[in-house]
Structure 1
Amino acid sequence: MTFKELGISDKLIKGLSELNIKNPTKIQELVISHLMQNEGDLVAQAQTGTGKTAAFGLPILERINPKDDKIQAVILSPTRELAQQIKHQLFKFTKYSDQVFMEVVFGGEKIEKQIQNLKRPTQILVATPGRLNDLIRRKAVDIRDAKLMVLDEADEMLSMGFKKDLEFILNTMKHKKDIWLFSATIPTDIKYIIKQYLDPNAKQIKASGNELVNEKIMHQYVPCDADEKMMVLDYFLKTQKQERGIIFCNTKNAARTLHEQLNARKISTGILEGDMHQKDRDKEMRAFKNKKLDLLIATDVAARGIDVANLAFVVHYEIPKQVDYYVHRSGRTARAGKTGVSMALCTKNEVTQIKKIRQELGIKIKEVPFG
């Protein structure tokens, strides 16, 4: 189906076309076709990089009443990077449409400035849970009349410790609202949120098996000994030439060690790990986004919400213990219709985990011999 057939207005389609977004992705088609014809709650499984911002963003923009300057929709996101990206994308979609007033609020910036900004007309508010909680308690923002709440990357929000913030925010809004929950995985905590706050008859759009993982990603693994991993990684990076990517480790110590090893080899590499100060994290992300660095080493929690265009690969230097971490990691490549490689370096013990991931996700992970 085309965006026009899904019910999207010509002005928004013109904005999409300028961004080279011509045809809806699978998740966009499923979600938009439902939301343009139905009110009510929604649970959608959608991996990052599959176009879910447009999937919920376009129906929101179609629902905004231009004559009402109050907050009509709230979009919650796990990280400041993703929150900023969502606002930026929605703004681009509306280039040829009536003006929609949007604000974004997140931790790590002076709250006084954000309070001042919220005094302006705001129809869509994009926020991280912790900062929105703070603003509500200070009575600096009123979301009680919002008709719509989007929980984007809900599983990441909960894994980052935002459960209490999320519950406070949901309890603050009036009972009559639509909640659209997007999550790559549906763990126990997400099931609790769904049961507690969403309608029992909420529409379920579930991706299962390999539909959960972007089909544009080529999955591979190399069996090797632990002391061979650096050699294998070095070889793989040379095959990638000037391409850019992210290397994942399970722990902060492993990430720091690898960072030191690569820089000692004159391979300019950034790092994101949990103990870093926000200003240092921002500095590394700016360097990576501005292409001053081709590689970034990250732990799973520190990498939440990363969205960098045109990454050719991700490397699992250590295999994640949880299947959903593999999904999130791999989703950093092959975004916006492009292709990418997800490469895992596996010791004998880790091969078992790779086989489990392959079985649970129903995807092909090809063994690539080294040497």
Structure 2
Amino acid sequence: MERICMREHPKILDLSRTEATATGLQEKRIDCAAEDKDLILYSMLMSRPARTMVFTNSIQCVKRLHTLLRLLECQTIVLHANMNQKQRLKSLERFAQSQQCVLLTTDVAARGIDIPNVQHVIHYEVPRVSETYVHRSGRTARIGRTGLTLLLVSPEELLNFKKICRTLNKKEEELPELPLDTEHMSALKERVTLAHKIEKNEYFQNRKSQHDSWFRQAAEAMEIQLDDDMLMGN
């Protein structure tokens, strides 16, 4: 302090923000049953078309949503840890080039990447820690822009939601519920129900094909006759 001729009692000004999230960020939530999340997500994508990132906690959930939304004719791109670097970069490039596209991703895309003009972030599953919520939400409302981050909270996830609010010094009222257009949702419900049936049937057929293929190859390698009872569906 003497060398730089500083006063003995300097004043310290802390310019860091008390809020962990961006100032232009709208934080909302929807309380719903777990089985209603697909309908609410589809309704949001239809009623608010925009460049949207949908975060889940597992790769399996990303793949299921991709199949479901593909059946519902939504333009979706996937990004998760099981993809190699070339595939990830290609997904990010396609997403950045589209104005109304949906990126279904795990927390692999929550930090370390800069995607311009993301308008909506939807937490299909509530993150387990508050840090993840902040990083996910930080994909939108960047560089002074505005954006929306939406939590879909099922009763099973209420504890995690309250923990996030407590850690970020937020009252639950500070994440108000986003009003839903029930009339719009009821019109989409039949379509989503049908897509669910097709998605489950496709999943079973793929599983059956993989199962039967493995047994046939094993039987051929051991040079034994395969009993039809070992195949799925018989």
TM-score (normalizing by structure 2): 0.66
Structure 2's unaligned 5+ residue stretches are 5-11, 183-234
Residues 316-327 of structure 1 mapped to structure 2, 5 A cutoff: 316-327=123-134
2:32 alignment partner, one of 194, 208, 224: 224
Kept after mapping to 2: 8 A contact 1:311/1:334: yes
Judged with a 3 Å threshold, the aligned counterparts in structure 2 of structure 1 residues 205 and 259 are, in CA distance, closer, same or farther, namely farther
Cα distance, 1:304 vs structure 2: 2.9
**In the alignment, residue 39 of structure 2 is paired with which amino acid?**
M
- Counterpart-to-counterpart distance in 2, 1:305 and 1:272: 14
**Structure whose residues are more often strand by fraction:** 1
Which range is displaced more, 356-365 or 258-267?
356-365
Out of 218, 235, 244, the position equivalent to 2:43 is 235
- Matched pairs, number: 168
Shift of the 347–206 alpha-carbon distance from structure 1 to 2, 3 Å rule, reads: farther
Please identify the structure whose Cα radius of gyration is greater: 2
Bigger helix fraction: 2
Structure 2 equivalent of residue 213 of structure 1: 21
- 1:265 maps to 72
**Bigger relative contact order, structure 1 or 2 (CA pairs below 8 A, ≥6 apart):** 2
**1:325 alignment partner, SS class:** helix
Single out whichever of 281-290 and 322-331 deviates more from structure 2.
Answer: 281-290
Query: Aligned equivalents of 2:130 and 2:48: distance in 1?
Result: 26
SS at match of 1:238: helix
Match of 2:87 in 1: 280
Secondary structure of 2:140's aligned partner: coil
Structure 1 pair 205–224 and aligned structure 2 pair: CA distance change class (3 A): same
TM-score normalized by structure 1? 0.42
Contact 2:54/2:121 (CA < 8 Å) preserved in 1?
yes
The alignment-based identity, stated in percent, is 34
Q: Report how far residue 287 of structure 1 moved.
A: 0.5
C-alpha deviation, 1:205, in angstroms? 5.9
Q: List per-residue Cα deviations over 1:229-253 (Å, max 9, x = no partner).
A: 0110111112213x11100000111
TM-superposed deviation, 1:352:
2.7
Are residues 208 and 283 of structure 1, via their aligned partners in 2, closer, same or farther at CA, if it must alter by over 3 Å?
A: same
**Counterparts of 1:248 and 1:260, CA distance in 2:** 16
Identify unmatched segments of 5+ residues in structure 1: 1-36, 38-202
Q: In the alignment, residue 115 of structure 2 is paired with which amino acid? A: V
List aligned pairs for 1:314-353, cutoff 5 A. Answer: 314-353=121-160
1:351 to 1:368, Cα distance in 2 relative to 1, 3 A: farther
In 2 relative to 1, CA 341–302 (structure 1 residues): closer, same or farther, beyond 3 Å?
A: closer
| RMSD value, Cα | 2.3
**Conserved? CA contact 1:287–1:293, under 8 Å:** no
Runs of 4+ displaced beyond 4 Å: 203-209
- SS of the aligned residue for 1:222 comes to strand
Query: What's the counterpart of residue 250 of structure 1?
Result: 57
Q: Is the 8 A contact 2:111 2:136 kept in 1?
A: no
Give per-residue Cα distances to partners, 1:90-129, cap 9 Å, x unaligned: xxxxxxxxxxxxxxxxxxxxxxxxxxxxxxxxxxxxxxxx
